[in-house]
């Protein structure tokens, strides 16, 4: 018996990283998956899910495009007849300090990370209401809580995701739609690897800054998303959950490092 | 296959309410459970119940305000079951309802001793046992009142706020040692303690429901599901964090 038996889930940014791993985990727990991505890698994730005996369909989606989001929701309804879980996960980093961040880059990061979430929520909710409700999970970041030099647009967009989450949660609280945000810390995915380099040294460097002395595997984010997607979290809504190995818990003093 | 197969879990305040329901769920998910509390009759019945349903459990009488009780509780766990993987510091009391100027020193001490000092003692003596076991997960029970003020419950709010920062501090101390520490901040969960609080304050239930966006109060089962998630390996990257369980109350 899976935690998501008989549920239908749409996951954006599901061609790679956290979205891909979550797609596979959700499918293992019994959900039928719409694998959405703009990269073209969505077919590959679908293939892996089918190899496991799961049910999935690909959707080529640019989350900044309203028409794409609408058709993504339609893919869920036309293929699987309902929508129970929407995981708005697609995001880009767009590293640039304030002085170096062009207005175009700012717009692009906000369009993918923030407007993409808004559009997902906007078009996902009516579909969920048709079948009595559902659970929406938005990918924010610890960058939604604290500033990180060199990622101004990313931080602004991720903070915005938290408040879109809370607002949507309040608007639909009595209609059995829950909306929560996951705020990951350092996860060893393509985005992080691009910063530190795909080497043992890169991973070591990324790990050194962490209170736990390591970075997370995408599976460790997917398991939190699974909890939020499932009925086990039925009283959890409007929250922004740090999943960060204590990154935002406080100031890690080296005195206790062993 | 249970989510806590092979793990030993110690739950304080497990003779009623959230602690009882969580202890039962942990056992159903495969954990060996130590039911701890002050009420011998209730605690023994719960442990027997769990055993009757095919689980493994024992009751250990302990007052979490007392160092020697907490030490003995941890020792009994390790001596009987060989280790400690999950510690749920749940014991707490809400105390009298009275504003700060009317809150007696006795009430302050009783509430802070049980909720805050009890959590401190649980971790102080639980962590060494967990380290010997190879790591584990600690779950502390704070409240929405540990995040925002709650007029009429100054001692409770202060103790619960203290638990949030104690959790973060201990999480950072243990981050490299394989021990995770998280805290649950619940809104109104209908337990015997909360029922009594609502019964003794007219209109309180309606007020709390009206202040909860979902329009209903939480259940101990919903709390237990979050505790299970934090106890299990599904939350392997969660530590030092507050987990809100409140039907949207704090989203406002």
Pick the CATH number of B8-246 from 3.90.420.10, 3.40.50.1220, 3.90.1150.10, 3.40.50.720: 3.40.50.720
Catalytic residue list contains B156: yes
**Do B76 and B99 contact (CB within 8 A), yes or no?**
no
Question: Where is B234: in which H helix or E strand?
Answer: none
Determine the residue of chain B that is closest to A258 in CA distance. B176
Beta strands in chain B (DSSP E): 8-11, 32-37, 56-61, 86-89, 136-141, 179-186, 242-245
Position B170 scores a pLDDT of 98
Taking only residues 28 to 87 of chain B, the set having a beta carbon closer than 8 angstroms to any beta carbon of chain A reads none
Q: CA A162 → CA A192, A240, B201, B246, B248, distances in Å?
A: 21, 6, 35, 16, 13
CA dist B229 and B219 (Å) reads 16
**Do A59 and A42 contact (CB within 8 A), yes or no?**
yes
Position B1 scores a pLDDT of 84
B220 to chain A, any CB pair closer than 8 A? The answer is no
DSSP state for residue A189 in the 8-state scheme: S
CA A230-B29-A11 angle, to 5 degrees, is: 20
Residue with tokens 């060996």: B32
Query: A8-187+218-241: what fold?
Result: Rossmann fold (3.40.50)
Position B28 scores a pLDDT of 98
Strand order in the sheet with A177-184: A56-60, A32-37, A8-12, A85-88, A134-139, A177-184, A240-243
Residues of B in contact with A185 (CB under 8 A): 237
Determine the residue of chain B that is closest to A1 in CA distance. B1
3-state class (DSSP) for residue A48: helix
Residues of A in contact with B222 (CB under 8 A): 234-235
Residues of B in contact with A257 (CB under 8 A): 176
Residues in chain B where the model's pLDDT stays below 50 = none
Beta strands A177-184 and B32-37: pairing type?
A: unpaired
For A232, the closest of B229, B246, B252 (CB atoms) is B229
B175 contacts A252? CB cut-off 8 A: yes
B178 to chain A, any CB pair closer than 8 A? The answer is no
Q: How many CB atoms lie within 10 A of CB B79?
A: 9
User: Which of A166, A177, A246 is the best residue to mutate to test the B interface, defined by the most B CB atoms within 10 Å of its own CB?
Assistant: A246
Tell me if ipTM is over 0.90: yes
Instruction: List, by residue number, the catalytic residues of A.
Output: 154
Position A254 scores a pLDDT of 66
B175 contacts A224? CB cut-off 8 A: no
Residues of B in contact with A224 (CB under 8 A): 234-235, 237-238
CA dist A229 and A7 (Å) reads 9
Beta strands B242-245 and B179-186: pairing type?
A: parallel
CA dist A116 and A123 (Å) reads 11
B244 contacts A256? CB cut-off 8 A: no
Position B137 scores a pLDDT of 98
Residues of A in contact with B215 (CB under 8 A): 173-174
**Do B217 and B188 contact (CB within 8 A), yes or no?**
yes
DSSP state for residue B212 in the 8-state scheme: S
Domain positions in chain A: 8-187+218-241
Residues in chain A where the model's pLDDT stays below 50 = none
The nearest CA of chain B is from the CA of A220 a distance in Å of 6
Buried b (16+ CB within 10 A) or exposed e, A221-254: bbbbbbbbbbebbbbbbbbbbbbbbbbbbeebee
For the CA atoms of B86, B142, B64, B81, the dihedral, rounded to the nearest 10 degrees, stands at: -10
Residues of B in contact with A184 (CB under 8 A): 237
Torsion sign (Cα): B79, B80, B86, B90: negative
CA dist B220 and B187 (Å) reads 11
**Do A223 and B3 contact (CB within 8 A), yes or no?**
no
Q: How many CB atoms lie within 10 A of CB B42?
A: 16
Taking only residues 198 to 237 of chain A, the set having a beta carbon closer than 8 angstroms to any beta carbon of chain B reads 210-213, 216, 220-221, 223-224, 226-227, 232-237
DSSP state for residue A114 in the 8-state scheme: I
For B213, the closest of A224, A238, A249 (CB atoms) is A238
């Amino acid at each position: 018996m899976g935690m998501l038996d008989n549920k239908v889930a749409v996951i954006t940014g599901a061609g790679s990283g956290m979205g891909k791993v979550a797609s596979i985990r959700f499918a293992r727990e019994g959900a039928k998956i719409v694998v959405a991505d703009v990269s073209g890698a969505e077919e590959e994730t679908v293939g892996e899910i089918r190899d496991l005996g799961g049910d999935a369909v690909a959707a080529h989606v640019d989350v900044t495009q309203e028409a794409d989001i609408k058709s993504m929701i339609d893919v869920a309804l036309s293929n699987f007849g309902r929508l129970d879980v929407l995981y708005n996960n697609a995001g880009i980093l767009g590293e640039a300090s304030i002085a170096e961040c062009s207005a175009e880059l700012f717009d692009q990061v906000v369009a993918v990370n923030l407007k993409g979430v808004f559009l997902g929520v906007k078009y996902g909710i009516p579909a969920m209401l048709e079948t009595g409700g559902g659970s929406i999970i938005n990918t924010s970041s610890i960058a939604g809580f604290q500033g990180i030099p060199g990622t101004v647009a990313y931080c602004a967009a991720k903070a915005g995701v938290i408040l879109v989450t809370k607002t949507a949660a309040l608007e639909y609280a009595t209609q059995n739609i829950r909306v929560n945000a996951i705020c990951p810390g350092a996860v060893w995915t393509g985005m992080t690897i691009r910063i530190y380099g795909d080497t043992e040294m890169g991973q070591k460097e990324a790990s050194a800054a962490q209170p736990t002395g390591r970075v997370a595997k995408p599976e460790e984010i997917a398991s939190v998303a699974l909890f939020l997607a499932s009925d086990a979290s039925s009283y959890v809504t409007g929250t922004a959950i740090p999943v960060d190995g204590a990154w935002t818990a406080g100031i890690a003093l080296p005195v206790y490092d062993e | 296959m249970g989510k806590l197969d092979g793990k030993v879990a110690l739950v304080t305040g497990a003779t009623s309410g959230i602690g009882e329901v969580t202890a039962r769920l942990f056992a159903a998910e495969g954990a060996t459970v130590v039911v701890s509390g002050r009420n011998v009759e209730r605690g023994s019945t719960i442990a027997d119940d769990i055993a009757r349903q095919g689980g493994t459990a024992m009751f250990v009488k302990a007052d979490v305000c007392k160092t020697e009780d907490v030490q003995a509780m941890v020792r009994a766990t390790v001596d009987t079951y060989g280790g400690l993987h999950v510690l749920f510091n749940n014991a707490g009391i809400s105390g009298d309802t009275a504003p700060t100027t009317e809150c007696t020193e006795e009430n302050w001490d009783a509430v802070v001793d049980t909720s805050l000092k009890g959590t401190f003692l649980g971790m102080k003596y639980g962590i060494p046992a967990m380290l010997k076991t190879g790591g584990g997960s600690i779950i502390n029970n704070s409240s929405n009142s540990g995040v925002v003020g709650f007029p009429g419950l100054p001692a409770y709010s202060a103790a619960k706020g203290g638990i949030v920062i104690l959790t973060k501090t201990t999480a950072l101390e243990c981050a490299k040692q394989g021990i995770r520490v998280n805290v649950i901040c619940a809104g109104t969960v209908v337990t015997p303690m909360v029922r009594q609080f609502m019964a003794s304050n007219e209109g309180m239930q309606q007020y709390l429901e009206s202040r909860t966006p979902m329009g209903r109060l939480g259940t101990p089962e919903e709390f237990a599901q979050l505790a299970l998630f934090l106890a299990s390996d599904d939350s392997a990257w969660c530590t030092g964090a507050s987990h809100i369980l409140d039907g949207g109350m704090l989203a406002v």
